[in-house]
Structure 1
Amino acid sequence: MHPMLNIAIRAARSAGSVITRGFENRDDLVVTAKRDHDYVTKIDKDAEQAIIEKIKQSYPEHTFIGEEGGVVQGDDTFKWVIDPLDGTTNFIKGIPHFCVSIALMYKGRLDQAVIFDPIRGDLFTASRGAGAQLNGYRIRVGKQKDLNNGVFATAFPFKDKTQLTEFMPKFTRIFAQSGDVRRTGSAALDLAYVASGKLDGYFESGLKPWDMAAGELIVREAGGLVTDFAGGNDPMQKGEIVAGNPRVVQQIVKQLK
């Protein structure tokens, strides 16, 4: 295992311990609205701090980009992109579907990735050029050949509902041709599920780098294709993503266009 991936796993498990303790004591949660329909708790912040502290023990000079703490400037050669609790609304409501997401970018390229589901104990990992794993076993994207009978995931633009007018026709076209479409509330886990063949594809817009960085690498290393809505190869810059095996992605992009 790559040494930096090993540190990322330790950091993810450390954050997972913070999250599971918080989940067991949700009656004590103090919830703050960052903006409309977008929430943060002390658990989010404590989990992010646990991740940064664990990584800094080995790599104190690196840069950190976190959802809650912003940028902690350091050596830009190594950038850790962190979502300490992806699926905060699920967490608040007691829905056991959320995760820790950590990615390392080396010289601007995704290099290491961890997505950890602390409730199920599922650990998704990837190193650039070395494949993707779930709990130590190699994973691959599904073999779905088209949208028909496939199961896909997305999210509605709940933070800016003015975008519904533009989004719904795209959703309707894909939904009409597919077996079903899920809306789970965790972008990172959706991507991990695509990588492991649990979902056949995923599409969403309005995302931040920490929502998709780890998932993007894990999908790619599992043999999948990741693009933006136009089929381009830089979804983090666009804030939109399509993921799945190449055949499925091509057909989703066609509908989105």
Structure 2
Amino acid sequence: MSGRRGGGCTSVLSMLLVLGLVISMVVYLSPALDLGNVRRTVAADPMDGVPGSGGEGYSFMQVAGDGDPVTWGCEERIEVVVNPQGAPEGYAAMVESAVRQVNEASSFSFAVTGETEDREFLDRGRGPVLIGWADEQEVPELEGLTAGLGGATYVSGPGGAARAVGGMVVIDTESQGGGWFSRGIDQEVVLVHELIHVLGLGHTEQTDQLMAAENGGQDQLGAGDLAGLAALEDAACG
């Protein structure tokens, strides 16, 4: 999610853009795992989900070979660790609140298990979801008007099915200060948006949804956001 570009505002400089990365580690499961076959990809256009995926008001970050969206296991408890380096004052309460909002809106359950010194944001494998803060020198994808990035790592089997096994959220340290421009979008909203990317939703063209790429002041989940989360649940548990 970006804290510095976005749609629905009166000028480019007052826009808020929200970005999501698909940081996908594709591992073909076999009795003898050859790590040399691991491949990581970044979506060509991180502002959008897979073209044609999803439904009214939502899209999927990634679709597996069997056509289902890539998400976590049914009702999975997803461990989260936080790196506080560069975090704003009160970050722990902010993370807790964002996690609670996403948990209440979905069948998945993020659980903050502690803090870490880990700062491997874009090259993640299987393990807990990392939440942290960085600048564009450390994470070049934060360059420009981007306030945050989020995505999942997934494994894929030869039958085409895939599921998420890790992920990350990184917030631009330059976006701190309680809100951006006249819209007042704060970091907690960014965290909610990016955590939903971790679950598997991409962006929508509907600007009244929290998962819109260009945020014009939306700070609550919309009907499309909730429908998308329900679709992820159906894919995980169906």
| TM > 0.5 fold call | no
Say which structure is richer in helix. 1
Larger radius of gyration: 1
> Using CA pairs below 8 Å that are at least 6 residues apart, which structure has the higher relative contact order?
2
TM-score by length of 1: 0.29
Say which structure is richer in strand. 1
TM-score by length of 2: 0.30
